[in-house]
Chain A
Amino acid sequence: MSTYTEHDFFEDVVEQGYKYGFVTDTPSAKAPKGLSEDTVRYISAQKEEPGWLLEYRLKALAHFFKLLDEGKEPSWAHLNVPAIDYQDAYYFAAPGDRVKYDSIDDVPQEILDDFEKLGIPLREQAALAGVAVDAVMDSVSVATTFKEELAKDGIIFCSFSEAVQNHPELVRANMGKVVPYTDNLYAALNAAVFSDGSFCYIPKGVRCPMELSTYFRINEANTGQFERTLIVCEEGGYVSYMEGCTAPMREEYQLHAATVEIIAHDDAEVKYSTVQNWYPGSAEGKGGVYNFVTKRALCSGRNSKVTWTQLETGSAITWKYPSCILKGDGSVGEFYSVAFTKDYQQADTGTKMIHLGKNTRSTIISKGISAGHSNNSYRGLVKVNPKAENARNFSQCDSLLIGDQCGAHTFPYIEILNHTAQVEHEATTSKVGEDQMFYCQARGISEQDALNLIVNGYAKEILAKLPMEFAVEAQKLLSVQLEGSVG
């Protein structure tokens, strides 16, 4: 990565469209189509889950149907979501006919090749130094690298299903604690049919020596992906966690309803970075992934800290609000986001910072970029509860418009219930400056390159917060997405 030059950068820019749209041709085991108790039982049985988990899933499913019957699909977001037929999808698909791989040697070559194509090496000798990867295709975790090395420090990093088998007490004690299945419709759906995902446990006082990473890929047609990630960081622990995702190009939509829960105890620090590049649909707005995700962190301990950093470029529709509940005194929540939409993409994303403890601090920096016919909204809540003495928040939400057919919106909620709070929010909306474009073009930089330069500069503040491995990819991704946005 270090040899990546500016020349390569612009070379990459020339690549157009969505380059992860290929399909891996591998046989797969699927649950029967549709959503019912039987589907849930099938998934649970496939994964050989304990009774309590099946019970939990069934309760969540009942709640999901109840919400659906009451018409409680979230409609408050600035999104136009076509009606979703929850019965017209598969809720479980295992690539290569297996629901579990005991070692990387069992994984069919085509799946390994697929991840290779995505730039995710699963063979450890080929892996990027210092990054442990959990790769999830459709409903199954394919491989997790560096497990043994991490285990030396007492760190548990494995797929969610493995954690259920090997560390049931940890899973049971923490799962659903931050995002209960009653939270919202998609959280209920996820709790009922979640297939796989990552589990990460950092013991007391351990600084995770490498970046942990999960790579999600939807391969099967007409399949929803419902992964669940749980990160528990004990007192004084530290972990940096990255998440990437892609999907093949499909005419029909694919539903992705994930749940991420983070629990940070005293003095623990968790960094969660996402580069979201699900298939955004065709340029005419056909197909694409509906990305309805519930991500939330509980800073339960004193001086704990959680940072969400995200680059959102994919998905036809994004509905996502990574949040922090700042419960511990002196805890810190941060949210850095770049959301780029083009063509007919829609994004309604932001964060919630709930200040409960004393001396809690939060920072929100959100940059939206809209092009084409897309709509891009920031929606956020900063709430200072009555007991949160001396809480501080700073929020900045900027929007950049490229073209006159797109929309950029800001919906911040600021609720102050304590008189010692200091809360600031500012937002601006403007287009790419003509003078900036002119300046670049006058120096012989093409219009497209100039736009790349300006937008990357605009987003740099956020991209720089991503771990190095992601920062380069993120920058490239943004440039590829920008292709064709001028004129």
Chain B
Amino acid sequence: MIDLEKQPGFLTNATDALAGAFSGDGAPDPFHDLRQSARQSFEGKGLPTTKDEAWKYTDLRAALKADYQPADPSATVSDETIQQARIPGLDAALAVVVNGAFDAERSDLSGLPERITVGGLREQVQRDPAGVRDTFGRHVDLDRDAFAALNSAFSLDGLYLSVPRGVAVERPIEVVHIVTASGPTFVQGRNLIVVGEAAQATVIETFAVEGTGSGEPAETFRNDLTEIVCGAAGVVRHVRVQDEGPDAHGVSLVQTYQERDSDVSTLTFTFSTGTVRNNTVMVPAGEGGQSTLGGLYICRGGQHVDTNTLVDHVAPGCQSNELFKGIVYDQGTGVFNGKVFVQREAQQTNAYQQSQGVVLSPEARHYSKPELEIYADDVKCSHGSTTGAIEPEHIFYLRSRGVSEADARAMLLYAFAHDVVEMVSMEPLRDHLDAMIAERLK
């Protein structure tokens, strides 16, 4: 697919498709320069291999083997698929993204305050290129991340949300990403969320794959990038639920940038997937900022979930709180690599990081690398990382109270996983996540 040696025309074809998509709408791509430099950056770096320190434990070769074709942005999906991908009982506005393109017809953005702008990113780029340019791609380090460069070079569309100063969007916005294709498909999605001073927004992303033709879901590879820019004293709640099935691979980056006294939280729940790498980079850039990140991954079969996080404390007096938990079964592999970086100016930083892995079968693997890099002295930073089996004493305690061994294990694992669910504030979403955990732990 993106093996440039085997398929020298891939990037050119993608460029043509991109140019066509924009000129078809009668407008040039205002990000031509950014895309050019992103493309050069990607071509210069190539895809990461396990020789790259940041990719030590994740080998993408098997996941990239299929003969992926770019997704067709004009495809449509059935209502049934959309409904299935939604969080049951959650009262939310709906944004539907099919094969990386925003689908206005299927979306239902009613019930949101009038002053906000919400819709397709591409449409917004054409309507107000200068406005989007202020934030689009501004905080992403393309040199650090080849996939972010690839996304920036060729991504087409996604959700655009802009909340002006002082507006609190009470109603959550649910973004349903669906891939529909008959063969192996490569999809790139891009979301831009800009929350103004003292404004508030909640965004939930879910992902699904719909098969066409024979009905079997096709193998997919997603490369997603979500940017969240939060103004002073703004509040953003961002949750992702990945559960597309064992043939869905992907790399994603959630990049947040926060001004003074803002409060941003981004959580990722990974259930059934193939090989997945989730990157999160949070930059609390103004004094008094609060950054929360967390996630849960339950790996079965040959599933491989790699979580990579960076909290870059550049401003003084900020707090970050990180909690990731993983349960690995079968031949599953869980990876956690989290870094807390405290720059010289970032005095009075409080940074806390916790990662825990439970390994449940002989062939399951868990790797963890919690890092601290600290250049300021008046700070409190700590990390804890544990990996192991379920404590036999805990099982014994429950068994001595008449609980069967299977139930005791399920109960303990459920309690372990539920800690991350506790970080979510929406009741229906919590119930949904709990139900998914219970299902997955069966």
Smallest Cβ-Cβ distance to B345: which chain A residue: A404
Contact flags A169-192 to B (C-beta < 8 A → 1, else 0): 000000000000000000000000
* Known contacts A429-B379, A431-B379: A414-B385 contact under CB 8 Å: yes
Main secondary structure of the interface of A (DSSP, over half): strand
Q: Does A39 contact B (CB under 8 A)?
A: no
The interface size of chain B toward A, counting residues with CB under 8 Å, comes to 36
Q: Does A425 contact B (CB under 8 A)?
A: yes
B386 touches A410 (CB 8 A): no
A404 touches B374 (CB 8 A): no
State how many angstroms separate the Cβ of B421 from the closest Cβ of chain A.
Answer: 24
Q: Which of B357, B370, B380 lies in contact with A427, CB distance below 8 A? A: B370
Smallest Cβ-Cβ distance to B377: which chain A residue: A401
Smallest Cβ-Cβ distance to B369: which chain A residue: A413
Q: Does B53 contact A (CB under 8 A)?
A: yes
B389 touches A402 (CB 8 A): no
Stretch at the interface among B248-256, B360-368, B423-431: B360-368
B374 touches A417 (CB 8 A): no
A416 touches B365 (CB 8 A): yes
Interface residues of B in 378-399 (CB under 8 A from A): 378-389
Q: Chain B contacts of A412 at CB under 8 A? A: 369-371, 385
Q: Chain A contacts of B377 at CB under 8 A? A: 401-404, 406, 431
Contact count band on A = 35 or more
Interface residues of A in 404-457 (CB under 8 A from B): 404-431
A404 touches B386 (CB 8 A): no
Q: Chain A contacts of B373 at CB under 8 A? A: 78, 407, 409-410
A410 touches B388 (CB 8 A): no
| Interchain CA distance A423-B368 in the complex, whole Å | 11
B344 touches A429 (CB 8 A): no
A416 touches B381 (CB 8 A): no
Q: Chain A contacts of B378 at CB under 8 A? A: 404, 431
Q: Which of A76, A78, A413, A427 lies in contact with B382, CB distance below 8 A? A: A427
B381 touches A417 (CB 8 A): no
| Interchain CA distance A339-B372 in the complex, whole Å | 17
Q: Chain B contacts of A303 at CB under 8 A? A: none
Q: Chain B contacts of A76 at CB under 8 A? A: 53
Q: Does A34 contact B (CB under 8 A)?
A: no
A419 touches B360 (CB 8 A): yes
Q: Which of B53, B357, B367, B372 lies in contact with A409, CB distance below 8 A? A: B372
A426 touches B387 (CB 8 A): no
B379 touches A418 (CB 8 A): no
Q: Does B347 contact A (CB under 8 A)?
A: yes
Q: Top 8 closest A-B pairs, CB basis? A: A401-B377, A422-B388, A419-B359, A428-B382, A410-B372, A429-B381, A414-B368, A431-B377
18 contacts across the A-B interface (CB closer than 8 A):
A399-B372, A401-B374, A403-B377, A404-B344, A404-B377, A406-B377, A411-B371, A412-B385, A414-B387, A415-B365, A416-B365, A416-B366, A417-B365, A418-B362, A419-B359, A422-B386, A427-B383, A429-B380
